[in-house]
C-alpha cells in the first residue's frame, strides 16, 4: 500500500486510471479514423477540414464517456483500496478487453455500414426473428469471420502485453507531502472531471446520439458515435419497438377487409394501398408553394378564451383571423415521431417508431411527398434538430423528400444545444431555402424550441408575462415554460410576414403533438388533447370555410392540402378526409376522439358526459380499425392477410 494521507493515495491510484482513460479515448479516436478511411467510398459529398474538426471534437465527448465508464470499476475501487496491487491487473484486463471489443465492433460496424449505410441500428436485432442456422451460415460465407477471430486474438494478446509493459512505467501523482486543504481541492477537481467525463459534457446537457449530427455531412455524422454507443442505443430502441404486437390487438377477428369496409374503403381493392383511393374534386387556383409548419408542443388552449388574454399565441390568433382555424383538431400521436408517422406517411399511428420499421425504407403511397411529387411539387423537409435523432434524416429521405435539412447543415457549431436550432434561426434558414425558388414546392418545417430544457432566454427575446384575467385560476405559471410557447409563436408570425411577400403561398400550421404542461391543474379533455389547425396565405381560397361541425386530426391534413392543389380526377391514397369538404365530422387521435359535441379520451370517458357509452364505443371501434390497418401496413406491408 502507498504511504500518505487517504486523499493522496486515492489521487495516485486515479492517476493510473487517467492513463487507462486516455488509452480508451485514444482507441476510440483511432477507430473513428479507421472507419472514415474504410468507408471513404460511402461519402456522397466531399469532406472538409471544418467537418472533420467538428466531428472529432464532438466525438471526443463520446470517447471520454466510454473510456470513463470502462475505468469506473478501478475508479471506485481506488476510493476503497487505494494503491492495492490488484488494481493494476484489473486496469490491464479492462484496457485489453476494451481494445479487443472495439476492434471487433469497428470492423463489424464497417461491414454493417456497407450493407445498411449506417452504424449499428434497430435493424441489427431483426435477425433474432430469422432462421438462426441460415443466418450464421450466411455470415460465415459472406464475411471474413476467420480473419476477424485471428485479429481478435492478436489484439487481445498485444494489448495485454503493451499495457503490462507500459502501465507500471507511466508517471503517477505523488502528493503524499501535501496538506489536507490542497489535497481536498485536487480530489474534488478530480471527482468533477470523472463526473464530466461520464456525462460526456461539462455543461447541463449529457452527450447523446440524437445530437450527433453536428456537421453538414450526413455520412460523417453517422460515424461520430463509437460503435458500442450505437449498439447500446439500438438495443434500447429494440426493447421499446421490438415487440410490435399483433393486428388482433385492434381487429380481433383479423378481418382487415371488413375493417376497411367499416371505414368506407374498398375491400375488393388489390391491396391496402388501393383500398382508400380518392378522386380530387379539382382545385380552382392551386397554390404554388405549400408550407406545413409543425410547431413543437403547440397546444390549442392558448388560442382560446380566457387563455388568449395571456398573449402566448397572439401570432397564431392573428394568422387565424387572416385565414381560418379549426379548433376541434387532434394530433395523431402523443410524441413527435409518432405524429410524424401520420404526417409524413399518411398512416394512422399505432404506436410504432416508424423510422425504424423495415416497411418504411420505401415510400408509402399515402405519404405526402410521393403524392405531391405526382402533382409536380419539389418536396423539402426542414428540421431544427439533428438528423441523427431516431434516424429521421434517412427515414424522411426514404419517404421521398427531395431535400432534407437539419441543424448540422443549416448552421454550424450548435452541438451544445439539446435539440438544435432555435426557432428563429430555423425559420430564417427556411426562408433562405425558399427564396428564389420558382418551382412549385412543398416545404415541411418541424420546430423544437418549445421543449425541455427550455434553454432560450425568452426574457431577452422580449417576453413579458401578462397577468391572468379575473376568474382564471393559474396553478403553474412558470414564465420560462410559457415564454417558450410565446417565443415559438412569435417566430411563426415573423415567418408568415416574410411569406406574405410571396404570391401563391398556402401555409398550414399545427402542433406536432399536444403540450404536456398546463397552467391549470385539472385540464379538461379539450385542453389536454387539442392542437390547432391554421390555414393561411394568398393560396388559400377564401370562399372555402370549415363547416360548423368539422372535426379532424393529423390524419386528414394531407387530403386537405392535396384537394387544394390537385386537378379534378387526380387519384391519391388517403386514410383521411378533406376537412374543407362536407362530411369531416369526426377526428381520431391517439386514444381520443373529437366531434362537434366535444372531445373525449377513451381512457377517461367520464370526463366527457356529453357522449353516451355507445357513442364512445363507436368512436373507439373506428379508432381500433384505423390503428389495426396502420399497424398492418407498417409491419406486414400492403398485401392482405
Task: Transcribe 428-453 into DSSP letters.
Answer: HHHHHHHTT--S-EEEEEE--SSSTT
What's the grid cell of residue 623? 379508432
| CA distances to 105, 106, 127, 143, 435 from 148, in Å | 11, 11, 20, 9, 52
> Which helix or strand (DSSP H or E) is residue 573 part of?
strand 571-573
pLDDT, residue 159, reads 80
Q: Strand pairing partners for 294?
A: 446, 510
The three-state secondary structure class of 634 is: helix
Nearest-angstrom CA–CA distance, 14 and 65: 16
CATH superfamily membership of 247-635:
Alkaline Phosphatase, subunit A (3.40.720.10)
98-123 CB burial, b ≥16 within 10 A, e <16: bbbbbbbbbbbbbebbeeeebbbbbb
Cβ atoms of 234 and 121 within 8 Å: the answer is: yes
Nearest-angstrom CA–CA distance, 25 and 39: 21
Cβ atoms of 550 and 263 within 8 Å: the answer is: no
> How much is the CA Rg of the chain, to the nearest whole Å?
28
Nearest-angstrom CA–CA distance, 163 and 169: 10
Place of cell 486543504: 181
pLDDT, residue 94, reads 92
Nearest-angstrom CA–CA distance, 543 and 506: 14
Q: At what angle do helices 49-80 and 227-241 cross, to 10 degrees?
A: 80
pLDDT, residue 383, reads 96
The three-state secondary structure class of 460 is: coil
Nearest-angstrom CA–CA distance, 605 and 613: 8
pLDDT, residue 342, reads 96
Dump the DSSP string for 245-278: --GGGT-TT--HHHHHHHTT--TTSSSGGGTTEE
Place of cell 430502441: 237
Place of cell 446520439: 209
Q: How many C-beta atoms surround the C-beta of residue 435 within 10 A? A: 10
Residues contacting residue 22 through CB under 8 Å, at least 6 positions apart: 67
| CA distances to 32, 150, 518 from 59, in Å | 9, 29, 38
- The pairing of strands 571-573 and 592-595 is unpaired
- Report residue 345: phi and psi, to 5°: -105, -10
Nearest in space to 139 (alpha carbons), one of 120, 165, 164, 111: 111
For the chain, the domains span 6-241, 247-635
Cβ atoms of 571 and 343 within 8 Å: the answer is: no
Nearest in space to 445 (alpha carbons), one of 375, 505, 503: 505
- Tell me the pTM: 0.78
Nearest in space to 619 (alpha carbons), one of 640, 639, 598, 641: 598
The three-state secondary structure class of 406 is: coil
> Torsion angle, CA of 340/343/345/349, rounded to 10 degrees?
60
Cβ atoms of 550 and 620 within 8 Å: the answer is: no
Question: Which of the 8 DSSP states describes residue 596?
Answer: T
Nearest-angstrom CA–CA distance, 54 and 454: 25
Nearest-angstrom CA–CA distance, 108 and 288: 48
Residues contacting residue 507 through CB under 8 Å, at least 6 positions apart: 290, 291, 292, 293, 319, 323, 496, 499, 534, 535, 536, 537
Nearest-angstrom CA–CA distance, 638 and 634: 8
Nearest-angstrom CA–CA distance, 14 and 175: 12
Q: How many C-beta atoms surround the C-beta of residue 165 within 10 A? A: 10
Cβ atoms of 377 and 562 within 8 Å: the answer is: no
Alpha carbon 148 to its chain's center: 35
What's the grid cell of residue 391? 434516424
> Torsion angle, CA of 422/425/428/432, rounded to 10 degrees?
-120
Three-class SS string for 223-252? CCCCHHHHHHHHHHHHHHHCCCCCHHHCCC
Nearest in space to 495 (alpha carbons), one of 457, 537, 552: 537
Question: Which of the 8 DSSP states describes residue 530?
Answer: B
Q: How many C-beta atoms surround the C-beta of residue 5 within 10 A? A: 16
Nearest in space to 377 (alpha carbons), one of 290, 452, 314: 290
Dump the DSSP string for 44-100: SS---HHHHHHHHHHHHHHHHHHHHHHHHHHHHHHHHSTT-THHHHHHHHHHHHHHH
Nearest in space to 533 (alpha carbons), one of 553, 549, 510: 510
pLDDT, residue 14, reads 87
The mean pLDDT values, 10 residues at a time, for the chain of 641 residues are 73 89 92 91 84 91 92 90 87 90 88 78 58 53 71 80 85 79 82 84 73 82 90 76 73 95 97 97 95 97 95 97 98 92 94 86 96 98 91 94 92 59 94 90 96 89 91 79 96 97 95 88 90 96 93 98 97 97 93 96 92 96 96 94 91
Amino acid at each position: 500500500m502507498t504511504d500518505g494521507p487517504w486523499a493522496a493515495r486515492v489521487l495516485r491510484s486515479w492517476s493510473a486510471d487517467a492513463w487507462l482513460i486516455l488509452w480508451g479515448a485514444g482507441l476510440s479516436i483511432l477507430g473513428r479514423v479507421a472507419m472514415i478511411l474504410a468507408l471513404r467510398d460511402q461519402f456522397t459529398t466531399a469532406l472538409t477540414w471544418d467537418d472533420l474538426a467538428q466531428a472529432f471534437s464532438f466525438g471526443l465527448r463520446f470517447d471520454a464517456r466510454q473510456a470513463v465508464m470502462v475505468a469506473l470499476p478501478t475508479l471506485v475501487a481506488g476510493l476503497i483500496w487505494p494503491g492495492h496491487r490488484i488494481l493494476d491487473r484489473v486496469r490491464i484486463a479492462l484496457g485489453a478487453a476494451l481494445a479487443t471489443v472495439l476492434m471487433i465492433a469497428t470492423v463489424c460496424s464497417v461491414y454493417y455500414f456497407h450493407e445498411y449505410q449506417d452504424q449499428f441500428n434497430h435493424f441489427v436485432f431483426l435477425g433474432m426473428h430469422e432462421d438462426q442456422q441460415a443466418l450464421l451460415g450466411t455470415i460465415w460465407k459472406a464475411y471474413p469471420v476467420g480473419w476477424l477471430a485471428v485479429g481478435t486474438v492478436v489484439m487481445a494478446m498485444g494489448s495485454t502485453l503493451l499495457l503490462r509493459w507500459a502501465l507500471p512505467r507511466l508517471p503517477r501523482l505523488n502528493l503524499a507531502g501535501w496538506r489536507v486543504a490542497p489535497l481536498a481541492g485536487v480530489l474534488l477537481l478530480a471527482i468533477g472531471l470523472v463526473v464530466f467525463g461520464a456525462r460526456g459534457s461539462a455543461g447541463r446537457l449529457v452527450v447523446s446520439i440524437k445530437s450527433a449530427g453536428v456537421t453538414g455531412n450526413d455520412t460523417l455524422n453517422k460515424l461520430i458515435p463509437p460503435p458500442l454507443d450505437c449498439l447500446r442505443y439500438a438495443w434500447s430502441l429494440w426493447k421499446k419497438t421490438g415487440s410490435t404486437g399483433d393486428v388482433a390487438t385492434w381487429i380481433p377477428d383479423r378481418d382487415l377487409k371488413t375493417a376497411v369496409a367499416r371505414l368506407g374503403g374498398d375491400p375488393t381493392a388489390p391491396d391496402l394501398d388501393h383500398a382508400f383511393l380518392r378522386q380530387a374534386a379539382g382545385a380552382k387556383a392551386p397554390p404554388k408553394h405549400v408550407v406545413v409548419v409543425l410547431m413543437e408542443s403547440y397546444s390549442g388552449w392558448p388560442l382560446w378564451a380566457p387563455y388568449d388574454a395571456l398573449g402566448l399565441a397572439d401570432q397564431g390568433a392573428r394568422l387565424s383571423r387572416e385565414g381560418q382555424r379549426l379548433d376541434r383538431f387532434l394530433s395523431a400521436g402523443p410524441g413527435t415521431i409518432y405524429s410524424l408517422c401520420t404526417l409524413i406517411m399518411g398512416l394512422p399511428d399505432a404506436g410504432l417508431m416508424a423510422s425504424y420499421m423495415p416497411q418504411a425504407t420505401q415510400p408509402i403511397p399515402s405519404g405526402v411527398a410521393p403524392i405531391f411529387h405526382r402533382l409536380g411539387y419539389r418536396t423539402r423537409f426542414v428540421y431544427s434538430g439533428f438528423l441523427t435523432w431516431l434516424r429521421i434524416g434517412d427515414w424522411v429521405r426514404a419517404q421521398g423528400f427531395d431535400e432534407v435539412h437539419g441543424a448540422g447543415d443549416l448552421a454550424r457549431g450548435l452541438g451544445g444545444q439539446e435539440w438544435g436550432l432555435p426557432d428563429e434561426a430555423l425559420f430564417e434558414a427556411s426562408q433562405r431555402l425558399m427564396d428564389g425558388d420558382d418551382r412549385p414546392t412543398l416545404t415541411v418545417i418541424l420546430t423544437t424550441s418549445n421543449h425541455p430544457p427550455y434553454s432560450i432566454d425568452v426574457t431577452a427575446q422580449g417576453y413579458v408575462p401578462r397577468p391572468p384575467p379575473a376568474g382564471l385560476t393559474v396553478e403553474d405559471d412558470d414564465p420560462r415554460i410559457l415564454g417558450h410557447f410565446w417565443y415559438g409563436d412569435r417566430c411563426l408570425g415573423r415567418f408568415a410576414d416574410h411569406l406574405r411577400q410571396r404570391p401563391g403561398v398556402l401555409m398550414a400550421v399545427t402542433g406536432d403533438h399536444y403540450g404536456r404542461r398546463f397552467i391549470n391543474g385539472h385540464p379538461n379533455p379539450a385542453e389536454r388533447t387539442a392542437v390547432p389547425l391554421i390555414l393561411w396565405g394568398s393560396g388559400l381560397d377564401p370562399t372555402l370555410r370549415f363547416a360548423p361541425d368539422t372535426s379532424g386530426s393529423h390524419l386528414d391534413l394531407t387530403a386537405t392540402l392535396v384537394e387544394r392543389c390537385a386537378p379534378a380526377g387526380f387519384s391519391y391514397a388517403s386514410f383521411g378526409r378533406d376537412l374543407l369538404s362536407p362530411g369531416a365530422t369526426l377526428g381520431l387521435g391517439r386514444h381520443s376522439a373529437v366531434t362537434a359535441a366535444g372531445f373525449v379520451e377513451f381512457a377517461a370517458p367520464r370526463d366527457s358526459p356529453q357522449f353516451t357509452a355507445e357513442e364512445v364505443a363507436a368512436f373507439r371501434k373506428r379508432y381500433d380499425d384505423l390503428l389495426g390497418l396502420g399497424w398492418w401496413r407498417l409491419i406486414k406491408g400492403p398485401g392482405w392477410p
